[in-house]
Amino acid sequence: MAKRVTGRISLGKVLISVPAVIAGVGPYIADWNETHIHNPNWPPHAKFHNAQTMSLGAGLAGAALLQLWRPADSTAGAKAALDGGAVSAALYWVTQISALAYPGSRAVDPPGKQIFPQAVVALPSLALVGWGYALERRRLRDQGARR
């Protein structure tokens, strides 16, 4: 039987998992209130997109965690799982930042004074994914060299 390459706890996978979990639960914490999903001034279609964003965060978190923590029997399989997990963990944050590029888009509703309050979470989350990815790729490279 082949030795398992992944499925064990490593700092890199933990670092990637943190922003994935935040993307999964954070939108519900931030948006399940009277300013967003329960806002009587929002039309149903705006609520639809808000709900879609919350569900997307949960779905990407689930995909990231599944990829990161599933067992693999080879270094190549572990690298592929890491790639999928890291991309899934980063996508929510990348799309949140990219939303500012759309015409008429703003990160806050008037009279919000902040330019991009989500940057406090989005940018460190992307940094954690990058750091965790680099650490885990190094661990897998070193483990593959020992085989």
Q: Compute the average pLDDT of residues 134-141.
A: 97
Please write the tens of the pLDDT for every residue from 13-52: 999 999 999 999 999 999 999 999 999 999 999 999 999 9
Whether the model clears a pTM of 0.85, i.e. scores above it, the answer is: yes
Amino acid residing at 128: L
Residue 3's pLDDT is what?
62
Paired tokens of 48: 């639809």
Q: How many CA atoms lie within 13 A of 32 on its CB side?
A: 7
Angle 119-146/11-31 helices, nearest 10 degrees?
Answer: 160
Amino acid residing at 13: K
Mean pLDDT of the chain: 93
Paired tokens of 77: 């399989």
Find the Cα–Cα–Cα–Cα dihedral 58, 62, 68, 73, rounded to 10°: -170
Please write the tens of the pLDDT for every residue from 52-62: 999 999 999 99
Question: Is a pLDDT exceeding 80 seen at residue 6?
Answer: no
